[in-house]
C-alpha cells in the first residue's frame, strides 16, 4: 500500500465532514484511511459510521491530545508513506494524490505547498522552499498536512506528546537532524484549516516557549544560540555548509544513546 492517511478529530463534526469528502473523492485509490476520534459528543461519531466502508480503521475514545492521537494512528499505519490530514483540512483537488505519487522514487519527507484557510476563505498561499535546511526549520513550521513521510521513518521518531501545541515542529526538526531526505513537491496539496489551536493568536506565546524547549532538547542551549547567530548572518555565509555537520553530530550521539 502506497499511503496511510490519518485523520485526528475531536468535536469537529463539520470539519470532519469536509475532510471525509475530500479523501473519499480522490482519483488515487492506493491508500488506507485511519480516523482517530477523541471521544467526541457532537455527532462526529455518526460521521465516522457514515463513512465506515471507506475507513480502514477507526476508534473513538478519550486521549491525551492531538499528538497522542496522531501517534495512535501512526501505530496502525501500514502504507509506505503517511499523511496527517486532520479534521477541517482538505485535499486541494480530486487528483492531487495521483499527482503526488506519480513519482516512483520519493524522499523520506515529501512536502507540498498549502493554502491556509479560515472558514471558506483562503487567507494565505504558503509555498515552501525547494531546498530544506536547518535555518528554515528553526524559524518556520512545515505543514504536516501537506507532507508525506516515509512511515518507517515517522514510526522511528513519533510525535513528542509533551509539546502539546508544537510537537510537529519537533517532529520535522528531529527528522532533518537524523538525516532524513527532504523533497519539495511544487504544487499546492491541501487547504489547511487555521482555526485550530496551533494557529490561534492566544497560543502564540506558548508555542514560542515550546519551540525554545524543543531546540534545546534536540541540540543543547549553546548550539542553539550559535545557530541563531548564524541564521541572523546568513546573507554573508554559506549557512548550509556551516551547519551540515550538526546532522552528523546529532546522529552520532543518538547512536551512542542506543548502544549504552
Closest to 250 in 3D by CA, of 212, 217, 228: 217
Q: Which residues pair with 9 in a beta bridge?
A: 37
Q: Give the range among 126-140, 179-193, 225-239 with minimum mean pLDDT.
A: 225-239
Q: Tell whether the model's pLDDT for residue 242 goes beyond 60.
A: no
Confidence at residue 81, expressed as pLDDT on a 0 to 100 scale: 98
Question: Which cell is 1 given?
Answer: 500500500
With 0-12 CB in 10 A as exposed, 13-18 as middle and 19+ as buried, what is 204? exposed
pTM comes to 0.87
Q: pLDDT category, 237, cuts 50, 70, 90?
A: very low
What pLDDT digit, counting tens, does each position of 63-93 carry? 999 999 999 999 999 999 999 999 999 999 9
Poorest-pLDDT segment among 30-44, 109-123, 169-183, 228-242: 228-242
5-54 residue pLDDT tens: 999 999 999 999 999 999 999 999 999 999 999 999 999 999 999 999 99
Round to whole Å and give the CA distance between 65 and 160. 11
pLDDT digits (tens, 9 = 90+) for 207-234: 889 999 998 888 876 667 767 776 666 5
Q: How many CB atoms lie within 10 A of CB 105?
A: 5
Kindly state the cell numbers that stand for 106.
520519493
Which residue reads 546532522 in cell numbers?
Answer: 247
Q: Find how far residue 232's CA is from the centre of its chain.
A: 26
Element (H, E) at 117: strand 109-118
pLDDT above 90: residue 118:
no
pLDDT tens per residue, range 140-161: 999 999 999 999 999 999 999 9
If one looks up domain 3-217 in CATH, what number appears?
3.90.550.10
Amino acid at each position: 500500500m502506497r499511503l496511510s492517511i490519518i485523520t485526528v478529530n475531536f468535536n469537529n463534526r463539520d470539519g470532519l465532514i469536509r475532510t471525509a469528502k475530500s479523501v473519499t473523492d480522490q482519483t488515487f485509490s492506493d491508500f488506507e484511511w485511519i480516523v482517530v476520534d477523541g471521544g467526541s459528543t457532537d455527532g462526529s461519531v455518526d460521521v465516522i459510521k457514515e463513512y465506515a466502508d471507506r475507513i480502514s480503521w477507526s476508534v473513538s475514545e478519550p486521549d491525551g491530545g492531538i499528538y497522542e492521537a496522531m501517534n495512535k494512528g501512526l501505530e496502525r499505519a501500514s502504507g509506505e508513506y503517511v499523511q496527517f490530514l486532520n479534521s477541517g483540512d482538505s485535499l486541494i483537488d480530486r487528483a492531487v494524490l495521483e499527482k503526488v505519487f506519480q513519482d516512483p522514487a520519493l524522499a523520506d519527507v515529501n512536502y507540498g505547498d498549502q493554502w491556509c484557510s479560515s472558514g471558506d476563505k483562503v487567507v494565505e498561499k504558503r509555498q515552501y522552499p525547494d531546498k530544506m535546511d536547518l535555518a528554515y526549520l528553526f524559524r518556520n513550521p512545515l505543514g504536516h498536512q501537506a507532507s508525506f513521510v516515509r512511515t518507517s521513518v515517522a514510526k522511528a521518531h513519533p510525535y513528542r506528546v509533551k509539546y502539546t501545541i508544537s510537537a510537529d515542529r519537533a517532529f520535522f526538526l528531529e527528522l532533518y537532524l537524523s538525516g532524513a531526505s527532504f523533497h519539495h513537491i511544487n504544487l499546492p496539496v491541501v487547504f489547511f484549516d487555521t482555526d485550530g489551536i496551533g494557529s490561534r493568536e492566544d497560543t502564540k506565546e506558548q508555542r514560542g516557549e515550546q519551540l525554545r524547549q524543543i531546540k534545546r532538547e534536540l541540540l543543547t542551549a549553546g548550539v542553539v544560540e550559535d545557530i541563531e547567530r548564524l541564521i541572523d548572518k546568513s546573507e554573508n555565509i554559506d549557512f548550509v555548509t556551516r551547519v551540515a555537520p550538526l546532522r552528523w553530530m546529532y546522529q552520532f550521539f543518538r547512536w551512542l544513546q542506543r548502544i549504552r
